[in-house]
Amino acid sequence: MFCPKCGSSLTIGARGNFECPSGLEFSVNFSRELREHYPHAEPTGGVVRQMDGARRWFCSGCGDETTGTDGPCDCGIRMTPVMVHSLIELHPHPNGRGGWF
């Protein structure tokens, strides 16, 4: 499973929720949503992908860059508007330069 905001591969926290190695802990609810939405996602490894500051989305199932809800990833899955809303409103992500996105 990959971070939808930076593409890093996620680790699993003490409560069974996903954590981005770049510093974002996903809620228990959102972690369950990820598992249900991407049932075939690869096991997670905590590999950090370098951020270049550009705002974009990544597919949690395969880690490829996507356009968010505009179209499906090559793997055929797209994020739902509810997931995007949760990511924007409830899951601020460090941008590596002292800010958040």
- Helices of type H across 6-100: 28-37, 81-90
Instruction: Indicate the residue among 14 and 50 with the shorter CB distance to Zn ion.
Output: 50
The candidate with the shortest Cα–Cα distance to 10, out of 81, 97, 93, is: 93
Q: How far is the CB of 21 from Zn ion (least distance, A)?
A: 7
Counting contacts by CB under 5 A, is residue 22 touching Zn ion? yes
Instruction: Indicate the residue among 32 and 37 with the shorter CB distance to Zn ion.
Output: 37
> What whole-number distance in Å separates Cα of residue 97 and Cα of residue 34?
27
Interface ranges with Zn ion (CB under 5 A): 3, 5-6, 8, 20, 22, 59, 61-62, 73, 75
